[in-house]
Structure 1
Amino acid sequence: MALDPAFRRLAAGLALSVALLTAPASGEEFEVTIHHAELQEVAIKPRVGDTIRFVNHADISHNLYLTYEDGQVETLDTQPPRTTKRAVLHRAGHVVVRCWIHPIIRMELDVAGKAAEQ
């Protein structure tokens, strides 16, 4: 049974879309260390597409989440001690990083737009 050409084009387009959405970020990667109940103070200037790697050096679990200024929330799920979680920054603007378990943990970032391709 031959597939309809329109169906083949649709399937190929869908496969390409999935590949683009799951492709790794091509920006810089920054590391932020989690101590007992605080995030390491860092002076980073992230851009859209950059990755922040959160390394838990505490002896307790954390559950970080990012809140973008448009209200979208991205959670990194539970992060046991001595583990790493990554977040790719998807939007420009102000971003607040907090912990669901320990609300005292807070970090604020200003994410710049993606650099122009050269």
Structure 2
Amino acid sequence: MALDPAFRRLAAVFSLSLAVLTAPASAEEFEVTIHHAELQEVTIKPRVGDTIRFVNQADIAHNLYLTYEDGQVETLDTQPPRTTKQVVLRRAGHVVVRCWIHPIIRMELDVADKAASQ
């Protein structure tokens, strides 16, 4: 028994729609500039899996690290002037970004779970 062509088209559209709705959201990339002894003020809403690029526009080196809400620390190592370092956010929750060399540098983020945007 052959299927009606209109039914086949409807089934194909439904299948495509279902694939789009269940596809994972793509990760975003954010850029944060480091000025002399401060991070650019940002209002980003990152999710797990997103990338943050830190661009050092200062004339001095920095050494940023992230402290996740669960106590995990991720360091970006020494970042000379005019260089970029990036980090992929691995955990949801409150994250504090600081500089080992210049503790006055501080930025706080709330990282949403990957599923929060779907």
> 1:93 corresponds to which residue?
93
> 1:74 corresponds to which residue?
74
CA distance in 2, matches of 1:103, 1:116: 32
CA distance in 2, matches of 1:116, 1:63: 31
> 1:110 corresponds to which residue?
110
* CA distance 1:60–1:112, shift in 2 (3 Å): same
Question: Could you say what secondary structure the match of 2:85 adopts?
Answer: strand
Deviation per CA, 1:33-69: give whole Å up to 9, x if none: 0000000000100000000000000000000000000
CA distance in 1, matches of 2:107, 2:87: 14
Question: Could you say what secondary structure the match of 1:86 adopts?
Answer: strand
CA distance in 1, matches of 2:56, 2:46: 20
CA distance in 2, matches of 1:31, 1:41: 11
Q: 1:117 Cα shift?
A: 8.7
CA distance in 1, matches of 2:37, 2:27: 28
CA distance in 2, matches of 1:115, 1:84: 29
1:42 lines up with 2:37 in the alignment: no
CA distance in 2, matches of 1:106, 1:47: 19
* CA distance 1:117–1:99, shift in 2 (3 Å): closer
Larger radius of gyration: 2
Q: 1:115 Cα shift?
A: 3.4
> 2:32 corresponds to which residue?
32
CA distance in 1, matches of 2:110, 2:71: 15
Gap runs ≥5 in structure 2: 1-25
* CA distance 1:75–1:39, shift in 2 (3 Å): same
TM-score (norm 2): 0.76
Task: List 4+ stretches of structure 1 deviating above 6 A.
Answer: none
Q: 1:116 Cα shift?
A: 6.5
Among all aligned residue pairs of Structure 1 and Structure 2, give the percentage whose two residues are the same amino acid.
Answer: 90
